[in-house]
Each structure stands twice: as structure tokens, then as C-alpha cells.
């Protein structure tokens, strides 16, 4: 098949860069970008996306879960048959972790905006509807569970579940959604129908250092890691730091510290080789210089591309915490606050992306994703694929997160080519 080279050359790095800047400006004050899941700032970002897509002439709607979906109708005069052909789509998320970067999620949404602009301006021929999606609440940083908007689309999180998920301040996901004008009681209506879709491709920054270290501009994801998230609460006895002899203490922080080291030991044990375990949040109560910590709450994030090992590691961690807590005289409760399996993405989409990269002369390598992504959930309903672009120094979820505009443009070019290919595929 022949693709006009002009289409690829119309991807503009400078325009991509300007959109990245505009989204980055929507942040709470402080370091980096803070635009949390189901916050008013996240909604503002969705409104900006919706306004631009509407201005380009797309039909835009926001579903009950807060996902914004913009549709570009097929071209030509095939009429109803094309209107109802299974769609192809692309998209990513607009929320961030606390003090995160400017690119995680945003890069994929902005690449989609650029593809939409070119499709409209260049009148790129389409046999299928093309959909551009900004997913809601992808980051698990606020509510523990990640990919919430896409999980609701896939029917993996239902209306009734939204009262059980809560943030560190006790605000449930249902409450947070209502506060920003969404409809938690209706999220089951956000589900996508498999027969309405043909394929979905998400562009995202790599969030690791493989592409940069190999000097490869494009990554194609074959597997997305799973994650199990635990929240452990250790209860000891708070008391006076001067009055209580060391041998009589039930110090919850000392027990928690041993648990953190156990995470490191278990993750690096050959039996769990490949698992990534992190304690990213640890709160000490009452948090006073002169009181022995009586309570500690900490989270554990277990990531793996091997689903069996992911769960075995999580169980080994919970058992180790039990042993440590018993030996320290504290009591322990462990709650699973998120659990998602790894996903192998369909090889035919990997092949289409590879062909798209080859069309535009960009080198690629196939690699796994250590991070979670909306495509992981979407793949339950629609065959999905992912395009990665390099992350400088492999950094992500931090203000230093960076990808050059030209690298984003390369990714968007491959995305456009892949959309054209998928549009033509039977």
C-alpha cells in the first residue's frame, strides 16, 4: 500500500510542544505537575482537550466516568456502512501523580490531537470512525487503583466499587467524582462494546531507559506489567520517648522499617527475580519527636510481567510482614488496594506498528512496559497496542521527566501511520 509521504511530514514538533506547555500549566502550585485523578484540574485539562477537538470539527462527549472521547467520522460517500464500521482509536490520560512530570499520559493525548488535526486538514481518507480518547483517573497515586476510567470502560470497575476506593483523606472515588460533576452511579454506561471497535493504539513515554540507551526512537510494547498494591497498617504502643525503656517498646516504625527492608530482600531474592517492589508512602503516627510511633501505615507496589510471580511475591511479603510484626509485638493488617494482571498485547498490532515505523524510516525495538497503562484495560474489549518514545535518563513520575519535542513528533508520526494502516486493515 502506498502512503503519501506528505502526511507524515505534517506532524509539527513545535505545535506538540505548545500543547505540552498548555497542559503543564494546569497544575497545583509546587514542584512539577500535580493534577490528580478526579480533581478540578484534571477536569480542566479534559475541557481543553474537548474544546480543541470540537474546534477541529470532531464530535466530543464525556462519559459518566469522566473519559473524553472525540470522534472523527469516516470520509467518502460510503454512508451508513462506514459510519457504523468498527472504529479505530488512540489516546492516553491527562491526570498526573503528585509532583509528576509534563509528559506521562499527556504525550499520548497530544499526539492524538496532532493526528486528528492532520487527518482533518489533510483530509486523510478513512474507512472507519477514528476516535481520540483522554482517559480519566489513570494514575493509582490518589486512590490506590490505577487506570480507573479505562477499567470502567472495560467493565472491570463497576459503580458499586466506587464507594470502597478512597484517597489518603478518606474521600471515596464516588465522592470525588461527584465533586467534579461526574456520575458515579452511571459509570456502567461508559462500557465500550467490542463490536463497535477494531483496534486501539496508545502513544506514551517509555518511563524507563531502554530506548535512550540503545539510541532507538520508537518502542513497541508487547507486554504490560501487572501490579498488586498493598496497604499495611502496623499498630504498636505510642508512649513517652524518655520514659519508656527500649526493651518495653512496641515501636510501629521500627517494625515498619524491617518490613521495608524485607521488601528489598524479597524482590532481590533469585526466586522473585524480575519483580519490582516499592514502598512509596509511609505515614507515622502521631508523628511527634517525643512520642514513640504507635501506628504506621505504608503502601507496597509490586510490579511484574509474570502474573504468578506477582501474586507469589505479594503473598511472601504479607507473610514476612506478619513474622516481623509478631516479633516486634505490634499488630498488623494488610489490605489489597489494587490488583491488575500483566497483559500480553496482540502480536498483529505489534506488527502493524512495526510496519508503520518502517514506512517512515524509524528504527524500533519491541519491549515490555514496566508501568501500567490504560491500554492494558482497553485490550479486554479492543485489541490494543502501544508506541513508546524515549524518556531522558529513564526518569518518570518526577518533575525531571523529559522527552524532546522531535522525539514526540516521531512517535506521533508512527501513530498516524499506524492509524492509517489499521484503518485499511480488514
Q: Which residues contact 220 (CB under 8 A, 6 or more apart)?
A: 350, 353, 354, 357, 364, 365, 366, 367, 385, 386, 387, 388
31 is in an annotated binding site: no
Residue 152 found at the interface with ligand GLV (CB under 6 A): no
Residue 206 found at the interface with Mn ion (CB under 5 A): no
Residue 104 found at the interface with Mn ion (CB under 5 A): yes
Q: Interacting stretch for ligand GLV, rule CB under 6 A, among 138-146, 193-201, 238-246, 383-391?
A: 138-146
CB of 138 to ligand GLV, least distance (A): 6
Residue 33 found at the interface with ligand GLV (CB under 6 A): no
Residue 208 found at the interface with Mn ion (CB under 5 A): no
Among 146, 190, 235, 349, binds ligand GLV (CB under 6 A): 146
How many chain residues touch ligand GLV (CB under 6 A)?
5
Which of Mn ion, ligand GLV, none interacts with 212 (beta carbon under 5 to 8 A by kind)?
none
Residue 301 found at the interface with Mn ion (CB under 5 A): no
Nearest residue (CB) to ligand GLV, 74 versus 140: 140
CB of 371 to ligand GLV, least distance (A): 3
Residue 139 found at the interface with ligand GLV (CB under 6 A): yes
Cell of 133: 480518547
77 is in an annotated binding site: no
Which of Mn ion, ligand GLV, none interacts with 110 (beta carbon under 5 to 8 A by kind)?
none
CA-nearest of 122, 132, 127 to 74 is 127
How many helices and strands, by DSSP H and E, does the chain display?
13, 13
**What is the per-residue burial (b if ≥16 Cβ within 10 Å, else e) of 166-185?**
bbeeeebbbebbeebebbbe
Residue 202 found at the interface with ligand GLV (CB under 6 A): no
166 is in an annotated binding site: no
CB of 252 to Mn ion, least distance (A): 30
- Report which residue's Cβ sits closest to ligand GLV: 371
Which of ligand GLV, Mn ion, none interacts with 140 (beta carbon under 5 to 8 A by kind)?
ligand GLV
Grid cell 506521562 is found at 104
Which of ligand GLV, Mn ion, none interacts with 222 (beta carbon under 5 to 8 A by kind)?
none
**Residues 396, 402: Cα–Cα separation, whole Å:** 8
Which of ligand GLV, Mn ion, none interacts with 232 (beta carbon under 5 to 8 A by kind)?
none
Q: Which residues contact 383 (CB under 8 A, 6 or more apart)?
A: 198, 199, 200, 346, 348, 349
User: Treating both helix axes as pointing N-terminal to C-terminal, what angle do 106-121 and 13-24 enclose, rounded to 10 degrees?
Assistant: 130
**Longest pairwise C-alpha distance within the chain:** 85
CA-nearest of 80, 190, 204, 196 to 131 is 196
Sheet hosting strand 295-304, strand order edge to edge = 276-285, 295-304, 226-235, 331-340
Torsion angle in degrees (nearest 10) through CA of 336, 209, 202, 115: 150
Q: Interacting stretch for ligand GLV, rule CB under 6 A, among 80-88, 139-147, 285-293, 352-360?
A: 139-147
Binding mask 365-384 for ligand GLV (x = CB under 6 A): ------xx------------
Residue 36 found at the interface with ligand GLV (CB under 6 A): no
Nearest residue (CB) to Mn ion, 71 versus 104: 104
46 is in an annotated binding site: no
3-state secondary structure 41-85: HHHHHHHHHHHHHHHCCCEEEECCCCCEEEEECCCCCCCHHHHCC
Nearest residue (CB) to ligand GLV, 203 versus 253: 203
Q: What 8-state DSSP symbol labels residue 193?
A: P
Residue 105 found at the interface with Mn ion (CB under 5 A): yes
Residue 293 found at the interface with ligand GLV (CB under 6 A): no
**Residues 384, 345: Cα–Cα separation, whole Å:** 6
Residue 11 found at the interface with ligand GLV (CB under 6 A): no
DSSP string, 339-376: EE--EEPPHHHHHHHHHHHHHTT--EEEEEESS--HHH
Among 66, 74, 140, 236, binds ligand GLV (CB under 6 A): 140
Residue 206 found at the interface with ligand GLV (CB under 6 A): no
Nearest residue (CB) to ligand GLV, 310 versus 372: 372
- The continuous run of DSSP H or E covering 305 comes out as none
397 is in an annotated binding site: yes
Nearest residue (CB) to ligand GLV, 138 versus 251: 138
Q: Are 44 and 26 in contact (CB under 8 A)?
A: yes
Residues of the binding site for Zn(2+): 93, 104, 139, 204, 397
Q: Which residues bind ligand GLV (CB under 6 A)?
A: 139-140, 146, 371-372
Q: Which residues bind Mn ion (CB under 5 A)?
A: 104-105
Amino acid at each position: 500500500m502506498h502512503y503519501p509521504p506528505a502526511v507524515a511530514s505534517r506532524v509539527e514538533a513545535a505545535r506538540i510542544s505548545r500543547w505540552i506547555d498548555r497542559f503543564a500549566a494546569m497544575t497545583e502550585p509546587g514542584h512539577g505537575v500535580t493534577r490528580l485523578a478526579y480533581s478540578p484540574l484534571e477536569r480542566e485539562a479534559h475541557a481543553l482537550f474537548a474544546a480543541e477537538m470540537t474546534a477541529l470539527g470532531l464530535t466530543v462527549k464525556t462519559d459518566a466516568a469522566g473519559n473524553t472521547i472525540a470522534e472523527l467520522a469516516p470520509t467518502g460517500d460510503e454512508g451508513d456502512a462506514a459510519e457504523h464500521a468498527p472504529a479505530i482509536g488512540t489516546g492516553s490520560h491527562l491526570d498526573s501523580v503528585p509532583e509528576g512530570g509534563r509528559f506521562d499520559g499527556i504525550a499520548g493525548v497530544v499526539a492524538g490531537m496532532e493526528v486528528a488535526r492532520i487527518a482533518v486538514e489533510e483530509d486523510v481518507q478513512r474507512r472507519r470512525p477514528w476516535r481520540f480518547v483522554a482517559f480519566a483517573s489513570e494514575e493509582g497515586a490518589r486512590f490506590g487503583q490505577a487506570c480507573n476510567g479505562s477499567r470502567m470502560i472495560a467493565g472491570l470497575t463497576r459503580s458499586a466499587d466506587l464507594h470502597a476506593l478512597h484517597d489518603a483523606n478518606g474521600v471515596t472515588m464516588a465522592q470525588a467524582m461527584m465533586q467534579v460533576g461526574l456520575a458515579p452511579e452511571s459509570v456502567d454506561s461508559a462500557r465500550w462494546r467490542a463490536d463497535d471497535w477494531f483496534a486501539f493504539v496508545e502513544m506514551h513515554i517509555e518511563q524507563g531507559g531502554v530506548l535512550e540507551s540503545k539510541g532507538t526512537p520508537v518502542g513497541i510494547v508487547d507486554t504490560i506489567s501487572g501490579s498488586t498494591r498493598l496497604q499495611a497498617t502496623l499498630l504498636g504502643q505510642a508512649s513517652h520517648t524518655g520514659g519508656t525503656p527500649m526493651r518495653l517498646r512496641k515501636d510501629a516504625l521500627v517494625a515498619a522499617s524491617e518490613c521495608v527492608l524485607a521488601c528489598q530482600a524479597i524482590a532481590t531474592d533469585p526466586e522473585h527475580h524480575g519483580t519490582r517492589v516499592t514502598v512509596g508512602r509511609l505515614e507515622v503516627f502521631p508523628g511527634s519527636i517525643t512520642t514513640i510511633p504507635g501506628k504506621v501505615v505504608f503502601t507496597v507496589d509490586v510490579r511484574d510481567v509474570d502474573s504468578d510471580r506477582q501474586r507469589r511475591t505479594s503473598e511472601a511479603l504479607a507473610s514476612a510482614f506478619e513474622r516481623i510484626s509478631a516479633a516486634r509485638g505490634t499488630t498488623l493488617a494488610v489490605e489489597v488496594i489494587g490488583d491488575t494482571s500483566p497483559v500480553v498485547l496482540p502480536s498483529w498490532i505489534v506488527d502493524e506498528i512495526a510496519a508503520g515505523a518502517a514506512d517512515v524510516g524509524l528504527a524500533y525495538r519491541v519491549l515490555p512496559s514496566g508501568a501500567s497503562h490504560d491500554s492494558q484495560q482497553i485490550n479486554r474489549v479492543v485489541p490494543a497496542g502501544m508506541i513508546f518514545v524515549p524518556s531522558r535518563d529513564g526518569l518518570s513520575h518526577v518533575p525531571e521527566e523529559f522527552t524532546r519535542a522531535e522525539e514526540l513528533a516521531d512517535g506521533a508520526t508512527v501513530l498516524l501511520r499506524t492509524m492509517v494502516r489499521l484503518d485499511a486493515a480488514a
